[in-house]
Amino acid sequence: MEIRVKAAEGAALPLYATEGAAAADISAFIPAPVTLHPGERAAIPTGLSFEIPQGYEVQVRPRSGLALRSGITVLNSPGTIDSDYRGEVSVILMNLSGEDYTIFPGDRIAQIIPAPAVRLPFVKADALSPTARGEGGFGSTGVC
C-alpha cells in the first residue's frame, strides 16, 4: 500500500528523518519568509496533495523540537487529511511563545502519519450501558 503524492515544482516530498521514525516531516512551500507574532496563527502551504487509500487518513502533528524550542505548534492537532481530499495541504501553525518566529521556505513545519480511519454507524439511543466511571468527566479519574 502507498500514498500517492502530487508535489508542486520545488516542494519537498514527505521525508522520514530516521529508519525508526513513525511520522514523516513536511515542509513549508512559501515564496518568502512568514513571521508569526506571539499568539498569531497562519495556514502555511506545503505544495503537496495526497491520494490516501480509502479507510485511512493522514494525521498532521506538531514537530516536538519546534514546539519545545520555539513554541510553534499545529493548532488543530492532530489535523486530519481525509482520503477523499485532493487539494493542497496547508498546516495551521500557531506561535505560543512570547517572541516572533519566522518560517522560511523549506523549513520542516509538521509531521504526518498515516492511520486507519474506522467508520462506524451512529445510532440514536435513549440510554447507554453503565460503566464504573459513568459520567465522570475531566479529572474524574485523578489529577496524576
Residue 15, domain member (yes or no): yes
**Which residue range is the domain that position 20 belongs to?**
4-116
Residue 133, domain member (yes or no): no
Q: Which amino acid is residue 135, in one-letter code?
A: E
- The pLDDT, as a whole number, for residue 80 is 96
Say whether 67 sits in a helix, a strand or coil.
helix
pTM (predicted TM-score): 0.87
Residue 144, domain member (yes or no): no
**Residue 76 grid coordinates:** 488543530
Largest CA distance in the chain: 56
Q: Which residues contact 127 (CB under 8 A, 6 or more apart)?
A: none
Using the Cα atoms of residue 3, residue 74, residue 64 and residue 103 in order, give the sign of their dihedral: positive
**Residue 80 grid coordinates:** 486530519
Q: Which residue has the higher pLDDT, 138 or 121?
A: 121
- Whether 143 has a pLDDT exceeding 90, the answer reads no
Q: How far apart are CA 132 and CA 70, in angstroms?
A: 41
Mean pLDDT of the chain: 95
Residue 101, domain member (yes or no): yes
Residue 33, domain member (yes or no): yes
Q: Read off the pLDDT of each residue in 18-24 and give the average, rounded to a whole number.
A: 96
- The pLDDT, as a whole number, for residue 62 is 97
Residue 21, domain member (yes or no): yes
Q: How many domains does the chain have?
A: 1
- Whether 51 has a pLDDT exceeding 90, the answer reads yes
**Domain of residue 61, CATH code:** 2.70.40.10
Residue 136, domain member (yes or no): no
Q: Read off the pLDDT of each residue in 95-124 and give the average, rounded to a whole number.
A: 97
Residue 123, domain member (yes or no): no
